[in-house]
Amino acid sequence: MLKKKDKYIVAVVGATGAVGKEMVTVLEERNFPVEKLRLFASERSEGKIINFHQRGVTVEILTEKVFDGIDIALFSAGGDRSLQYAPIAAKAGCVVIDNSSAWRMDPATPLVVPEVNPQDLKWHKGIIANPNCSTIQMVVALKPIHDAAKIKRVVVTTFQSVSGTGSKAMDELFHQTADILNFRDVKPVVYPHQIAFNCLPQIDKFMDDGYTKEEIKMVNETKKIMNDDSIRVTATTVRVPVFRAHSESINIETEKKITANEVRALLSKAPGIIVYDAPEKGVYPLPVFAAGKDEVYVGRIREDHTIDNGINMWIAADNLRKGAALNAVQIAE
């Protein structure tokens, strides 16, 4: 367990990646009490300089020996690195906040969204898992409704931006868009098909039952974060040609009746949420608007007339911030 201090030695593992860079920005913006920042990546990035509070911090190569003296390590360098290095870091006395899926479903590792289950931070043993980006923004919006009316079932379809796959995927969307507009052929590398001007109903690998791993993550992680195995979740996850911020269409069935106005009132008071819902004025959550913001935007709130107790809504949030870096820093706070 980490001792309370005025300032902490903080590491970002995967500091040159899309999420890692955002972690450094969020630590700076929130004025996290950092005594010293250490940045790690692969040998490809050794010696690169990243700015933190107007000072250059040099990127170091990640090895098993680097964790001595580090208080908190934010990991976002892929699941294999987390599997290998997080236990070593924890053994060296460091609290790891891991953005990969490596430890999320481990029964000994809490999976935390601070607005939803902060109480689970108490039982960590050195590793705390940061949930999947699509799951984080969904549970922030579900929790107040679950507390008020008990959610029985959720049907969610996601519209996920390419930054969720990392910086190479952002480059792929950029270059494919330019290639298509210049009548050149495109060659998919990161994604199985062209992502520019397209939608891919596949995120991660397919499992035997036809669902993708991303869809299964949304099902299992929601139950774990909400501490309720009875919530039934079914998901279809789709990659769309958006650089930043994921959107989701969510259909909810509750045990108790709750009206659209009651949902609007509840969510307006809930932490981390902005209700953005005046469709007659063209006001509803958009990924271009949610990008760079901290909150989960919720709109298009309406009753589902096909069932007794149903709500439909549309949400958007920045997957690199609330979906990853911000949630990790909030856990550290």
Residues at the site binding ligand A2P, with contacts judged by CB under 6 A? 14-18, 20, 41-42, 44-45, 62, 77-78, 81, 166-168
For residues 45 and 134, which CB has a smaller minimum distance to ligand A2P in the complex? 45
Name the catalytic one among 94, 133, 146, 175.
133
Element of type H or E holding 257: none
The answer to whether 246 is a known catalytic residue is yes
Angle at 320 between CA 319 and CA 321, to 5 degrees: 95
**Could you tell me the smallest distance in angstroms from the CB atom of residue 129 to ligand A2P?**
17
**Residue 224 Cβ vs ligand A2P, minimum distance, rounded to whole Å:** 23
Nearest one of 40, 39, 62 to 52, comparing CA atoms: 39
Taking the C-alpha atoms of residue 182 and residue 34, their distance in angstroms, rounded to an integer, is 47
CB of 148 to ligand A2P, least distance (A): 37
Query: C-beta of 168: minimal distance to ligand A2P in Å?
Result: 6
Q: Are 201 and 123 in contact (CB under 8 A)?
A: no
Asked about 199 being catalytic, the answer comes back as no
- CA 231 – CA 219 distance, rounded (Å): 9
Q: How far apart are CA 197 and CA 20, in angstroms?
A: 28
Q: Is the dihedral of CA 193, 196, 198, 203 positive or negative?
A: positive
**Residue pair 6/99 in contact by the 8 Å Cβ criterion:** no
Closest residue by beta carbon to ligand A2P: 17
* Residue in this structure with the two tokens 């040099």, named with its chain if needed: 58
Catalytic residue among 94, 124, 146, 246: 246
Q: Nearer to ligand A2P by C-beta: 3 or 44?
A: 44
Q: Which is nearer to ligand A2P, 81 or 124 (CB)?
A: 81
From CA 112, how far away is CA 237, in angstroms rounded? 22
> Which lies closer to ligand A2P via its Cβ, residue 41 or residue 267?
41
CB of 266 to ligand A2P, least distance (A): 35
Specify the residue, 142 or 173, whose C-beta has the smaller distance to ligand A2P. Answer: 173
Structure tokens at 218: 């949304």
Q: For residues 159 and 317, give the distance between their C-alpha atoms in angstroms, rounded to a whole number.
A: 11
- Active-site positions read 133, 246
